[in-house]
């Protein structure tokens, strides 16, 4: 991180929420195209959650001069920003429960990311804001856990389609 911890932190936070939203939207559209409507609707709701969080972060960030970083200049713990769903983790036949578990992983990864700033930033304002964001992500995760608890168990059979892949029996 540079000598402007708060501006750097906010730049990463805006990118994190923006990427999460974009990926959820992309997945919602592709799930809809493949007739997995339940998962599509869930990802749309998650995109909306991310939009609301992005608005909040963006509202704080607008008073700061954020660094203009290229996509590959952000420093993430893994290959992509923490709340972004990995491509290889989804499938057009995935169940709503599997989608919700993925989203839960995302929320927890974001919480961990923010919590690490809350612990280790040299700047007090950054630590406070990061702790606030971490708490919000923890709250999202708790809501998802509650919803998962209320969801009927998976039947074990994934979505079927008429035009199956040409695979061996």
Partner 1 sequence: MNEPIKLKAKDYKSSVKPIWCPGCGHFSVLNALTKAFAGLGIDKDDTVLVSGIGCSSRLPAYVDSYGFHGVHGRGLAIAQGLKVARPDLTVIAMGGDGDGFSIGGNHFLHACRRNVNMTYIAMDNEVYGMTKGQASPTTPADWDHSKLTPHGPGVRPFKPAALALASGAPWIARGYSGNPNQMARLIAAAIEHPGFSFVHVLSQCITFCPEQTDWKAVVHEREEEALVDADEAAQLFLHEDGFQTGVLYNAQRATWPPSVPEPQSTDITRGFSV
Q: Is there binding between residue 22 and partner 1 (CB under 8 A)?
A: yes
DSSP string for residues in 122-138: S-HHHHHHHHHHHHHHH
DSSP structure class, residue 87? G
CB-wise, 90 or 96, nearer to partner 1? 90
117 in Cβ contact with 127 (< 8 Å): yes
Q: Is 30 in the site for partner 1 (CB under 8 A)?
A: yes
Using the rule CB under 8 A, is 29 a contact of partner 1?
yes
**Residue 103 and residue 76: Cα distance in Å, rounded?**
18
Tokens 């007090």 correspond to 124
- Name the minimum Å distance from CB 142 to partner 1: 27
Integer distance in angstroms from the first to the last C-alpha of the chain? 53
Contacting partner 1 within 60-119 (CB under 8 A): 68, 70-72, 74, 76, 79-80, 86-92, 94
Please, which residue, 15 or 49, has the CB nearer to partner 1?
15
The binding site for partner 1 (CB under 8 A) comprises 22, 26-27, 29-31, 33-34, 36, 68, 70-72, 74, 76, 79-80, 86-92, 94, 165-168
């Amino acid at each position: 991180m540079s000598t402007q911890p708060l501006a750097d932190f906010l730049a990463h936070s805006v990118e994190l929420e923006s990427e999460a939203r974009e990926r959820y939207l992309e997945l919602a559209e592709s799930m809809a195209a493949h007739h997995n409507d339940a998962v599509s609707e869930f990802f749309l709701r998650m995109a909306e959650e991310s939009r609301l969080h992005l608005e909040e972060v963006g509202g704080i960030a607008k008073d700061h001069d954020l660094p203009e970083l290229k996509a590959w200049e952000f420093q993430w713990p893994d290959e992509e920003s923490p709340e972004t769903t990995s491509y290889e983790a989804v499938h057009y036949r995935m169940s709503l429960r599997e989608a919700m578990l993925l989203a839960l992983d995302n929320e927890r990864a974001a919480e961990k990311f923010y919590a690490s700033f809350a612990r280790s930033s040299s700047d007090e304002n950054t630590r406070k804001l990061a702790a606030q964001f971490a708490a919000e992500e923890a709250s999202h995760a708790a809501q998802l856990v509650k919803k998962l608890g209320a969801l009927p168990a998976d039947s074990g059979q994934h979505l079927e389609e008429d035009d199956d892949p040409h695979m061996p029996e």
